[in-house]
Chain A
């Protein structure tokens, strides 16, 4: 098939490399160097979608990031679907599959369009706030239809086959945009030796120089671009990133760059390659050379396919050798857009008329148009377009000098393309991301970057500087200034800028919205924001209804909320609102630009930090053994802890019963390596412990261990553990698995900020030690086979610690118990962990040594009424509430952390929720954890709740359930009954009791 709009020569496409692609199920040809948009236009495709509210046919308007209409679904397979790809930014590749996103049955023949025509008038801004309210029950049905109609493309429903990456950079200069200003800045910076990153969203560097017909040094501008890029490549400190959009500018000169590494090669990245990469850049200085976007004008039916932005038309002609029509009417408020008519004419197509809104346009380009014999109609505007699926003609009319009223009769002209230009809007988005407010400049007719605290320099179009000569000079100056600020002086020396043509230009006119014979409310739709179907009438209505702040206008009409974020429409919308409110644009204000400049793939933001790498996995030294022995794992913090070790076809309960019984009857073993371990040294270590724990530490002898509770200043328990005295100035603290980092930081906080006079040092040694606890009546026999430590019950007593060899390696052995059994906690250097563990099993077979996981540990300790911080506490309970006043020493001289908090009015109430034991009336019934206690299960809802069950298990050793929970005033209600009404309708009755269910005198651990 021919590309009917493709010129035989010219442009930057490679005609030798023919490509095929599919759009809406039809095959089309294109060339290497095309974007999807240029290829569609080359093939004469007019309609690229339907508008979402009115279902109007829409065509391509622009050639870059500002395009609002050509957002396509791209992807040849389900897994590679990408919604809302801007056709103007997607490089064409062979085999690309794309389709329009809205329209039923398709965008070309859209039956919904009739609904739009008929119903469109019923859909002014905010119509949904005013209706769909009655009857209330129907809202959900209405909502389904609204949701269906909204949205553009669709998400893939399969896992992404591609990989994404991140890279961190530090550089002296980050230059955003590789147009003339950016290239000039980069050249200066590169020669200074600074480390430079130059990024540009396009597939090749050059920016506006890629489609200009202006010359540099009398040669095509692209030649200068090629020379500069060639030189930049030679500088080792320069990183060039094409196809890379700087999408966000964050505080302290941190920028993110979204690089599309392979999207121009195919749907899916080639094997082994990364599809997209986020560059995280910390820049000493930033140069913004982001250019400007041309504003189309607002007039009747300005969305009919064939209505385009003038600069976009020139880009298609000059860069892609595509003339998107036969007969052009150009409407402009400025000299620059005349270039589009010149380009069109020089491409051999007909320019019907240049309609200039100014009464007396004068300038070099106007002269050039005149010399070509083009028809210039001054002091007029296109008020309306004819046609539905393609422009067939325009109505033009004379304007008054201010441009706010018609001043003569309407005339019709035939054409198939209307290009319009209302001037240029600087691309200031990035400069606003860190909170800087832009400033309006009447001479620029646009917003330029405002004051900022960032180390930022702007050059070229972003400043409203548009003549090529001035842009190059500003670029070089900004580059030099940034180098100077980054410590590379004399940068500008020896740089000679290429000679640009001098083009004399007349003054542009500040005009945005072309009046019509009818009032705006009755005129044909005049679109401001195409993607969201926001019209001038809609904006006027919003202001009439009292939405006077520009933010209200935006939110009420949805202006600027599309995927183009109002790049084309926002200034026009502000102008319409300002006029309607009798204000200036700066009085009306601007909305805030936020990242992203253009949308960024979620996968790229996440990079590799998903799947298995979503978070760190921490394993103990014995993890391999656990895997080999069928452990199931529980996530505790970042740790994978063995949960239980089912054997054969055991259910969980069966496994727990076996593990618990084996431990109480012979010996069990737990991998306790994950408990936090903090090594504490210094002559004031003991004093420090006394201040951070609630109990006494002054007299703990060397070789002894003690359990401690830690509270916040509010008196609420936040962690617990056993701390051992290794030497008079050396302690080892253990913490809960999840609480370890927080406890260490807590200790450091108090030491560094409150008590720096105490000589004490803290080190985390959690990972240095492998910890295994053997527990049960045969624990001593088992350990005795492997150690040189004297295990005699009278010399190595409960709560003692000893150092010696276990299984041939140095070990610390603590005789502490979380099960209530005779227990030894063996600590060896982590590298020896697996060795010692396996040795224990070698010798333990005869004792039926049984590994148990966290779940059996929970059962065994619950039988003993031991708490687990975080399960039996929740940040709202004091040691007293827990029934642990034995662990609080108010006789200590120093007012330890938590003491004062516990004494507050609400904390000394005697009827707080107390932790108690719970014995179910039906012994085998296990109350679900989380069940809520009430006194009277028959009371009406809302019920008065007394507290919840924190820990609850079936105890195979006791033959009945054991539970702990909070009950209001529970310590004073021993023996009384509470009820647990459950979601399934059952009510469980339980008696409040002492939480120590097994061996209340603690004899088993003292054997």
Chain B
């Protein structure tokens, strides 16, 4: 059984059709990249997969481990193992990063029938992961994403992913706003998470990220559909030729 199977997915935002029959299958252990021009539906796909309010599925199916995801609330999907690294991580004043992480990790672990962490044990659990991502204790004591630089926010997303250990990770424009050093730290974080049990979906406009996180499959999303699939060579081709060909086809 595929880890994630998207069949003929149609979705609207504010009544406007954005996804128009998208098909995609991701097996455990695979890294897929979806590339596409602005407005092709990349971010919509990430929000539809995670169940954000206002993103309405009008047709099709999303099966995660064979289970129908569309009927699940966003928090339920996350506890089942769906993770989204946000393009723009949200600032939450008044909630410390540590409390936020512990609440999330414990909710997920409880769902999996695993033991929950007390605050002391959790500090240890997080520190092991934070060190690799160059995240200081000070950052963990601060309110979630408040006053963080772009790079710090993305590293914090990676820490959340590493702590929650999802089955499938969707990374929405994770490279945006990062300089090359920050990009390397983030990419190392992602590569460390690659495993035979886990699937990944990279959503990106530029090929640059794929130099550091090499995908098994590359898809082109245009006008709400996957219009072409290939291996990593397709990303290089897109880098060279741009998306003009697909935009014309779509028009």
Are A and B associated in one complex? no
Q: Which residues in A have some Cβ–Cβ distance to B below 8 Å?
A: none
